[in-house]
């Protein structure tokens, strides 16, 4: 699932989708143990999707909106506004 699609989901929808992905992971692992399927690629994709969903959930809980778009950084640099490094901030 693409990150933009995940970001556009509501909190409830995000929980539902994460639950579905976890269920699919469980079923794939079970099938792989029984030798019924070789869904390693699908398993990896699902694990990454769950990680993305957890990241978005944590961002929302902490009030983080995500990374600053590169266009905004370039505009600020042209205007002479740059971010201070950690050493300069201290």
- Residues 59, 56: Cα–Cα separation, whole Å: 5
In-domain check, residue 72: no
Q: Is it the case that residue 69 has pLDDT exceeding 80?
A: no
Over residues 58-82, mean pLDDT: 65
In-domain check, residue 82: no
Each residue of 4-62: pLDDT tens digit?
999 999 999 999 999 999 999 999 999 988 888 778 899 999 999 999 999 999 999 99
- Residues 11, 8: Cα–Cα separation, whole Å: 9
Structural domain count, the chain? 1
Radius of gyration for the chain, computed over Cα atoms and rounded to the nearest angstrom: 19
In-domain check, residue 79: no
Q: Tokens representing 20?
A: 């579905």
Q: Tokens representing 75?
A: 């505009």
Q: Is it the case that residue 67 has pLDDT exceeding 70?
A: no
Which CATH number characterizes residue 45's domain? 1.10.287
Q: Say what the pLDDT of residue 5 is.
A: 92
Query: Nearest to residue 3, comparing CAs of 42, 56, 43, 61?
Result: 56
In-domain check, residue 78: no
Each residue of 38-47: pLDDT tens digit?
788 999 999 9
Q: Tell me which residue range forms the domain holding 57.
A: 3-65
| Cβ atoms 27, 21 nearer than 8 A | no
């Amino acid at each position: 699932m693409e990150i933009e699609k995940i970001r556009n989901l509501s909190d409830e929808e995000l929980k539902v989708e994460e639950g579905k992905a976890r269920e699919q992971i469980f079923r794939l692992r079970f099938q792989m143990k029984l030798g019924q399927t070789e869904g390693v690629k699908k398993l990896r994709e699902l694990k990454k999707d769950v990680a993305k969903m957890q990241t978005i959930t944590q961002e929302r809980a902490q009030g983080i909106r995500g990374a600053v778009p590169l266009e905004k950084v370039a505009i600020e640099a042209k205007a002479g506004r740059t971010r201070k490094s950690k050493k300069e901030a201290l």
